[in-house]
Copies of this chain bind each other. A is one copy, B any other.
Amino acid sequence: MQRFHVIHYIALHKKGPGRVSSDEGKRKGKGASAHAAPQPVRVRTVKEIAAIANVSVATVSRALQRPEIVSEETRLRIHEVVKRLGYTPNALARNLRTARTRLIVALVPDISNPFFSEVIRGIEQVAYETGYSVLLGETQSNLVREQAYAEMVAARQADGIITMFHRIPSIPVGGRLPLVNACEYVRDSEISSVYIDNVAAARAAVDYLVTLGHREIAFIAGPSSSPICVDREEGYHQALERAGIVFNETLTAVGDFSIEAGERAIELFLSQGHAFSAVFCSNDEMAIGAMRALISRGLRVPEDVSVVGFDDIRFSRYTSPSLTTVAQPKNALGREAMTMLIELLNDPEVPPRKRVLSADLVVRGSTGPRGGTQGPAG
């Protein structure tokens, strides 16, 4: 990999980035009021509230949980005290007693991936509607971290978990943990999942390139450890076969979903000197990298080479040219996943299910009919 532009730095300060100044903290407030009395954090309990409101703890609890069964007068008095003292019930005690937290954990490999953000938004919508809260965890595809978050459920700190990668945290013996797999799935496993028909989606994308007249279609695959990537590759093969195009192994490269991987793949294809007029990529980042590499080699997109991505991340609308890609129903994936998880939480007996949603091809500027020029090496 090489940079295309020289990067040089101009320090704003003499001190390095590590140096810090913290004088503001030392300044004394102008009046005497500035934390003159760093009074210990007064933690209130039901007992105190009960004593002050002149009722029993049970009544306080009821006034907060099911106000309708407490007399108006008492209720108002208790609420006044609660408000005045700023009382918040201890959720640990409550959850311990009730054996539920109304909290679910959503795990993503990479939070900055805009694809997942949309899915998470879907999860949160349903969670909100059903009175759950969502806590996010980033695993960075690290097994240890995945496991650590899964333990939170085993330790009763959360009720369930939605994962967005293809590895299932090993289930603590004894209990089936309430888990739903979103976007990805694990073949043959007894895990509930929501995902799209990746074979069909990839096939449709490549079909579209075929209808534009392309015959030499390159493919940039994702890691084969992920079942959905295998499916996308399968879809690519099926489309070629249907169109009567002979599969050319040298026109397939494997990447790791990064922009750089897309660039490298194109470099590889070009160096091999085999002609191609279109590239289908297993995700948008790699497609963006592919476009960059093509353009920097003086090839025009889509006049010389058409490019298709997968996912429809927000940014693919803003590349130049904008990217044709397979749009996953991100929001729906999230919503379905959360809905399934709630079913599971309400009734642990329900068998695991797999739900398959459909995807759409979004045609933008990066694809066009096979041009007069025969492609890069044609």
Contact = CB atoms under 8 A, between A and B. Distances in A.
Contact of A38 (B38, B105, B348): B348
Interface size range of chain A in the complex:
35 or more
Nearest to A24: B354
A295 B320 contact: yes
Interface stretch (A59-67, A151-159, A271-279): A151-159
Interface in A60-101: 84-93, 95-96, 101
B17 A360 contact: yes
Nearest to A105: B135
B137 A136 contact: yes
Given A5-B321, A86-B173, A133-B148, 9 more contacts: A17-B359, A17-B360, A22-B354, A22-B355, A85-B173, A90-B155, A111-B111, A120-B138, A288-B318
Interface stretch (A161-169, A226-234, A238-246, A361-369): A361-369
A40 interface: yes
Interface of A: 4-13, 15-22, 24-26, 34-35, 38, 40-44, 84-93, 95-96, 101, 103, 105, 110-114, 116-118, 120, 124, 133, 135-138, 148, 151-152, 154-157, 172-176, 190, 192, 197, 200-201, 204, 208, 259, 288-289, 292, 295, 314-315, 318, 320-322, 329, 332, 336, 348-349, 351-365
13 contacts: A4-B322, A5-B321, A5-B364, A9-B362, A10-B204, A10-B363, A19-B357, A42-B174, A42-B175, A85-B174, A88-B154, A91-B156, A136-B137
